[in-house]
Amino acid sequence: MGFFNRRTQPAHATTGPSVGNSNGYVKEKRGRQGIMSNHERRAAYDSSALNRRPPFGQWLKQTWLDILTMICMGAIGLGVYEAHPAPSRSFPVYFTDGEIVYPEFAYPLRNEIVPIWLAALLGSLIPIFVILCLQIRIRSFWDVNNAILGLLYSLITAAVFQVFLKWLIGGLRPHFLAVCKPAVPTSGAQQGNGFGMIMYDRSICTGDEDEIDDSLESFPSGHSTAAFAGFVYLYLYLNAKLKVWSNYHPAYWKLIVTYMPILGATLIAGALTIDEYHNWYDVVAGAVIGSVMALSAYRMVYAAVWDFRFNHIPLTRHLPFTYGAVETGVEPFHDAIFTRKAGWGSGEGGAWGGAPFDAAGGVRGSGGAAATGMGTQSRHARHESDGYQGRRSISRKPVAGVVGNGGGSGNGMRAEQMV
C-alpha cells in the first residue's frame, strides 16, 4: 500500500511533468530555494527514461483500477443492451380512412451496410493501428499507453451512454412497421386508444420479438456513437502528433490525413440513412455523443486538446503537469511527436512559442529569448517575490520618467522597473 500513499514532490513550473521517485525514474533535484539550475534540470528531465516501458507489475499498479472499471462498464452496457425497451410506446398505424399515418416508418427491413459489430471494430482497431504505426518515429511507451487507454475510455463511455438512452428513450426505426407486422383490430375486436382510438402499442405486433425490441430503440445511433468516439479521438491524436494547427505552415497532406477519420465516421453514420436503419436525428445525436466522449477522453490523458504547445504530451498518473516554459533542458515527452518540421521533435523546443492566454513564464522557440529579454535569474527572483512559482510574466514597455511616492520624487524607481 505504500505505493499509493507515498507523497510526491510538487511539480516544477516547466513544460514537462515533474519527475519524482514514485515511479522509480529519475529523482528530481532541487536547489535550496526550490529552483533548479539549468544543469540540474538537464539531469532531472531524462526523456529517454520516461519514455521507456516500465516493468509489467509497475504498469499494472497504475492501471488496474481503470481496467476493472472498464470491465464493469462493459458488463453494465451489455446488460442494458440485452434488456427489453423500458417504455411502453403507443403509435398510430392507419387513419380512419385506411391511410398509413407515418410512411417514414414503413420502409422495408434491409441488411445493414456496416453492421454494429463492424462499426465498433473499425472505430477501435483502426485508431490503434495508426497509433502503433506512428510509434515508428515517436518511440514512447507512455504515449502508446495513454493513447490506447484514452481511446478505450472514449469508446466504452460512449457505448454505455448511448445504450441507456436507447433503453429509456429509444424511438421507432424507419423499418418499424415492416418488423412489427401489425394486426390492426377490426370493429368489435380490441380497440385502440387515444384520440380517435387510432393509437396502439406493441401488443398488436406479430413479428419477431427481438426485431421488435431493436426497432423500438432507434435513438441514438449506436453505429454513429462508436464511429465518432473512435475516429474523432484519432483525429485529435493526429492533429497533436502532426501539428496540423500549430505555429508553422504544414504540408497539405497532413490536413488530408487528419480529416480521413472524420470522413470515415461520417460515411459509417451516413450509411445508416441509406439502409433505413436510423433516422437522421438518431445519427446526429450519436455523432454528438461520440465526439463529446472523444474530446473528454483525450483531455484526460493528454495535456491539452487544441493548445498546440502541449496537446502531444501524455499526462502521468501521479504527478501533475504544470503549464509553463523554461529556457533550457530536455522535458519529458517533448519529443513524443511524429513531425520533425519547424523544430518540433528535435529536442530543442524550437517550435514552442507564446500564444493567447499563455500560461508560461515566457515564450520559447526561435526568437523566444530575444522576445522575453529576461534571464533565468531575474525570472526566478520575480517568481519568489510573487509568492509562488510559475506565475506568468508580463513584459511592459518602458515609460519615461521616474515614479516616486505621490509625485516626481521619493524612492526614485523607474516606471519600467515597476511590476
Cβ contacts of residue 107 below 8 Å, gap of 6+? 174, 175, 178, 276
Residue 336 clears pLDDT 80, i.e. is over it: no
Assigned C-alpha cell, 95: 387513419
Q: Tell me which residue of 358, 351, 316 sits closest to 335, measured CA to CA.
A: 351
Distance CA 220, CA 358 (A): 39
Task: For residue 75, give Cα distances in angstroms to 82, 118, 149, 157.
Answer: 11, 20, 18, 12
15 class by beta-carbon count within 10 Å (0-12 exposed, 13-18 middle, 19+ buried): buried
pTM: 0.73
Kindly report the backbone phi and psi dihedral angles of residue 297, in degrees, each rounded to the nearest multiple of 5, phi listed first.
-65, -40
pLDDT by residue (tens digit) across 132-145? 999 998 888 889 99
End-to-end CA distance of the chain: 47
Percent over 70 (pLDDT), the chain? 65
3-state secondary structure of 133: helix
Distance CA 25, CA 139 (A): 18
Please say whether the beta carbons of 332 and 41 come within 8 A: no
Q: Tell me which residue of 311, 301, 304, 316 sits closest to 25, measured CA to CA.
A: 316
pLDDT by residue (tens digit) across 303-319? 899 888 888 889 888 77
Q: Which of 77-91, 318-332, 402-416 comes out lowest in average pLDDT?
A: 402-416
pLDDT by residue (tens digit) across 57-116? 888 888 999 999 999 999 999 999 888 888 778 888 888 777 888 889 989 988 888 888
Task: For residue 186, give Cα distances in angstroms to 89, 192, 197, 200, 204.
Answer: 21, 10, 12, 13, 12
CA dihedral 198, 169, 85, 277 (to 10 degrees): 80
Distance CA 198, CA 100 (A): 11
- Number of other residues whose CB lies within 10 A of the CB of residue 259: 15
Distance CA 212, CA 95 (A): 22
